[in-house]
Chain A
């Protein structure tokens, strides 16, 4: 078990390095006029040169990358080229907002999708058809459209929620709850419909298996079969879907945060990428890759715990 975790962490570090090299090179290509963008349209060539020296842009790419790696390994992710805000600070204030939203959405998705998926698989008939149709509708409406509809009705017309985030230092839990409710709903609808579909088919597949018939023939209660055996065997499929959704959500959340003006990772990532603000982009990418690696590791461990067969492989 420990070897497994260490192995996975080792490969995770390799991935982090590979991604950092890739992203750093890509940014290098587009950082040609970064100094000019910082000092503005009317800057003289001398001003531009001054800024380039200040940012170390006159150094070869290898030197710049190694500088970054050495500093990053010591916990220093540098500071934004445009705002001088330390990257670590920028991430520290934004990660709680984004992660609260993502974790809340994922928990709700897991619970609701499982309930709906199992209900559809077990009851079949009209329940199943309703879930199927609902899934198609839910899947076909992008999260940001749902977000805009929710804002228009619940925030602007009914005034139940703030239209844009009221999260600020000293804001109470009520500001967090009210500000995050609509974004979380906008995020989770696609997840619920997608997840419910997958869980439904996984459960149906298990219900058709021979061992279920054997269990039934022994007179074991349906409830026990479902919760003790079927769900356990169907769980890996569900877990995989949910982990993919979580990773996809890290992208979807960017647009949702823009619409609700949430001070999360999204606006930071968008602004930094648009400006080729290298230290910030590197920080955001490293953080995202780390989350993805971590989520995959947790899912693998959970799968192993749920299903011993997976552990062997």
Chain B
């Protein structure tokens, strides 16, 4: 409804009267309409920019799509891949062709049938729709329809992450009739457990879904109604959760305290790591960074535990490696590879001939000012100057690519090993702007790429290399603080701050 001036005046008077007499009844959240209805209301960090499945992203920008779209593969909470729209999938011996068998009993919400042609249409669309995760299908050169329920993905080069991607953005299947139209940007058309209630949905305010009748997999459809309430502000999310307006939402260590005070339950998960990226490892712009001893000295300068306790109230785990604990590339003995040891840091700097005069320039990053201030202090204790420059702006990614920063503090997603390698290690990675590499590292990366099922194990070698060479100075993995009330149970999803939509169920 819209309010004209008269209605506004009436509303105003009524509101004043209500406020004065304090007779404003409890808001809807405390007495949800029909008692039998199972509804799920989630506090979402942001709205989707488009409901075109090719525009899906990762983590909290994947969850909403899962309401409307099924994916080819289902990623279980522990990371295992299971059948969903695909019933089986198999690589050839060279890992260059993936054959995927499809379900035959699935339709989209507009009535179109899901079959091999539909799957091909989606994958082709994803490859050219220029979405944020378009790189997920870079390795796929073409998709062939074998028969009505079988497709073949031909790969230009092996991609150890492809099966994982088919459980993510690249695997979401929309109705072939709707793909590429204007309307799918605002109203999803998939085969998923829920359909959007367009009339109740308001951009940047809430997205409302209702359970789809005759959905093929009732196990993934546990609620009759799903509402995603967009709450960008953490204070608003906290207030909405503790007052019962939403059932679950993502908070942070500080707002989490308030939620705990209100007896909300926490599911925690580690998804990102924070620390310094020592980008200029060839010393192109900052000569001392070329010396591995200098980079190791930087690593020894930090008292990770204390920083974590002070800045994030202890919500995380100190670490010296950039690969995630559940990624498969994680190596136990690297966890504390660089313990806090200022004396050793000084000795390493002396050996390298840089007792004085190492200066690191970092950009300021909104939200990490405290971290930078602490790092500056701890680095100065071993004789390294940290200059914090101007804050990053929205030209950030271009600035990184243009080698504007020789060192930077950042928080990065810890995905599957091949994903992480392409994000921070390979010469194509955005966060390797100086394109540092060695033949030794190239060989290790190549081994992962063609490693098939052993890829995770082989990625440990890449991890060892970049840790020993001190490419980064990781500080800690950060706990994601996802809180929910006792009306729902929530299973955390590996590598996601926000669980997949299938992980919620009504509390018994």
Q: Tell me if B464 is interfacial: C-beta within 8 Å of chain A.
A: no
Task: Contacts A41-B430, A173-B7 given; indicate if A261 touches B19 (C-beta within 8 A).
Answer: no
B233 close to chain A: CB less than 8 A = yes
Instruction: Tell yes or no: B35 within 8 A of A by CB.
Output: no
Distance of A41 Cα from B1 Cα, bound (Å): 40
CB neighbours (8 Å) of B240 from chain A are 163-164, 261
**Chain B residues near A160 (CB, 8 Å)?**
22, 24, 26
Proximity bits, B336-379, A CB within 8 Å = 1, else 0 = 00000000000000000000000000000000000000000000
Of residues B1, B46, B133, which shows the largest number of chain A Cβ atoms within 10 Å of its Cβ? B1
- Nearest Cβ distance between residue B246 and chain A, in whole angstroms? 8
A173 lies within 8 A of B205 (CB): no
- In the complex, what distance in Å separates the CA atom of A264 from the CA atom of B489? 33
Q: Which residues of B contact A43 (CB under 8 A)?
A: 130, 132, 134-135
Contact between B394 and A30, CB atoms less than 8 A apart: yes
Q: In this assembly, does B508 line the interface, its C-beta being within 8 Å of a C-beta of chain A? A: no
Query: Does A103 contact B204, Cβ atoms closer than 8 Å?
Result: no
Contacts of B217 in A (CB 8 A): none
From the candidates B27, B134, B204, B396, name the one contacting A178 in the complex (CB within 8 A).
B27
Which residues of B1-18 are within 8 A (CB) of A? Answer: 1-3, 5, 7-12, 14-16, 18
| In the complex, number of A-B residue pairs with CB atoms less than 8 Å apart | 187
The answer to whether A83 touches B132 (Cβ under 8 A) is: no
Chain B residues near A82: list those with CB within 8 A: 49
Whether B236 contacts A32 by the Cβ 8 Å rule is: no
Q: How far is the CB of A113 from chain B (nearest CB, A)?
A: 15
Highest count of chain B CB atoms <10 Å: which of A51, A161, A162, A171: A162
Whether A96 pairs with B2 at a CB distance below 8 angstroms is: yes
Q: How far is the CB of B277 from chain A (nearest CB, A)?
A: 13
Q: Which of B19, B26, B205 has the most CB of A within 10 A?
A: B205
A103: chain B residues within 8 A (beta carbon): 5, 8
Interface hit among A5-13, A135-143, A222-230, A270-278: A270-278
Give the residues from 227 to 276 in chain A that come closer than 8 angstroms, CB to CB, to chain B.
258-261, 263, 267-268, 270-271, 274-276
Contact with B along A44-68 (1 / 0, CB 8 A): 1001001100000000000000000
- Chain B residues with Cβ below 8 Å from A50 are 130
User: Interface size on A (CB < 8 Å)?
Assistant: 68
Contact A168 B15 (CB under 8 A): no
A76 to chain B, nearest CB (A): 16
CB contacts (< 8 Å) of B53 on chain A: these are none
Is A169 interfacial (CB-CB < 8 Å)? yes
B262 to chain A, nearest CB (A): 8
Q: Which residues of A contact B239 (CB under 8 A)?
A: 151-152, 155-156, 163-164, 259
Q: Is B245 an interface residue (CB 8 A)?
A: yes
A47 to B138, CA, bound (A): 12
Task: Please report the C-alpha to C-alpha distance between residue A34 and residue B12 in the assembled complex, in whole angstroms.
Answer: 42
Please name all residues of chain B whose beta carbon is closer than 8 Å to the beta carbon of A270 when the two chains form the complex: 232
Residues of A within 8 A of B233 (CB): 258-259, 261
Decide if A173 touches B11 in the complex (CB within 8 Å): yes
B438 at the interface (CB under 8 A from A): no
Q: In the complex the two chains form, is B395's CB within 8 Å of A32's CB? A: yes
B199 within 8 A of A: yes
Smallest beta-carbon distance A123→chain B, Å: 24
Answer yes or no: B231 CB below 8 A from chain A CBs: yes
List B contacts of A74 (CB < 8 A).
none
Q: How far is the CA of A155 from the CA of B231 in the complex (A)?
A: 17
- Given known contacts A83-B50, A177-B11, is B236 in contact with A259 (CB within 8 Å)? yes
CB contact between B3 and one of A100, A178, A275 (< 8 Å): that residue: A100
Contact for B199 among A165, A169, A176, A261, CB less than 8 A:
A169
A156–B29 alpha-carbon span in the complex (Å): 11
Chain A residues, CB < 8 A from B186: 85
Among B134, B185, B239, B395, chain A packs the most CB atoms within 10 A around the CB of B239
The reply on A134 being an interface residue by CB < 8 A is: no
* Complex Cα gap A181–B27 (Å): 13
Pick from A42, A161, A260 the residue with the most CB of B within 10 Å. A42
A271 contact set on B, CB distance < 8 A: 46, 204, 232
Which one of B30, B130, B399 contacts A159 once the chains associate, using CB atoms below 8 Å?
B30
A30 to B392 Cα, complex, angstroms:
11
B29 engages A162 (CB within 8 Å): yes
Per-residue interface assignment for chain A, residues 77 to 119, with 1 indicating a CB less than 8 Å from any chain B CB and 0 otherwise: 0000011110000100100100010011001100000000000
Report whether B131 and A164 are in contact in the complex, using a CB–CB cutoff of 8 Å.
Answer: no
Query: Contacts of B395 on A, CB cut-off 8 Å?
Result: 30, 32-33
- Contact call A30/B3, Cβ cutoff below 8 A: no
Which of B135, B230, B396 makes the CB contact (< 8 A) with A33? B396
Within 8 A of B (CB), among A25-47: 30, 32-34, 36-44, 47
Checking B1, B393, B423 against A42 with a beta-carbon cut-off of 8 angstroms, the contacting residue is: B423
| Contact A93-B202, Cβ < 8 Å, known A33-B398, A176-B11 | yes
8 Å CB contact of A39 from B27, B134, B230:
B134
B203 at the interface (CB under 8 A from A): yes
Please tell me if the beta carbons of B394 and A90 are within 8 angstroms of each other in the complex: no
Q: Which residues of B contact A151 (CB under 8 A)?
A: 239
Q: How far does the Cβ of A112 sit from chain B's closest Cβ, in whole Å?
A: 11
| A263→B394 contact, CB < 8 A | no
Within 8 A of A (CB), among B105-126: none
C-alpha spacing A33/B46, complex, angstroms? 21
Residue A166 is within 8 A (CB to CB) of chain B in the complex: yes
Complex contacts, B185 vs chain A, CB 8 Å: 83-84
Contacting residues, chain A, for B16 (C-beta < 8 A):
108
Q: Chain A residues near B14 (CB, 8 Å)? A: 173, 177
A161 touches B27 (CB 8 A): yes
Give Cα A35 to B418, complex, Å.
25
Determine whether the beta carbon of A39 is less than 8 Å from that of B49. no
B243 at the interface (CB under 8 A from A): yes
Contact check, A39 vs B130: say whether CB atoms are below 8 A apart. Answer: yes
Contact B236 A178 (CB under 8 A): no
A-B contacts besides A40-B132, A177-B11, 6 pairs, CB < 8 Å: A83-B50, A100-B3, A159-B26, A166-B28, A168-B205, A271-B46
Q: What would 15 A/B residue contacts be, using CB atoms closer than 8 Å?
A: A37-B397, A39-B130, A39-B131, A42-B134, A43-B130, A50-B130, A85-B186, A162-B245, A165-B205, A173-B1, A175-B28, A178-B24, A259-B233, A268-B204, A271-B232
B→A interface (CB under 8 Å): 1-3, 5, 7-12, 14-16, 18-19, 22, 24, 26-30, 46-47, 49-50, 57, 130-135, 138, 182, 185-186, 199-200, 202-206, 229-233, 235-236, 239-240, 242-243, 245, 262, 393-399, 401, 422-423, 430
Q: Give me the 4 closest cross-chain CB pairs, A-B, nearest first.
A: A40-B132, A33-B398, A263-B205, A162-B27
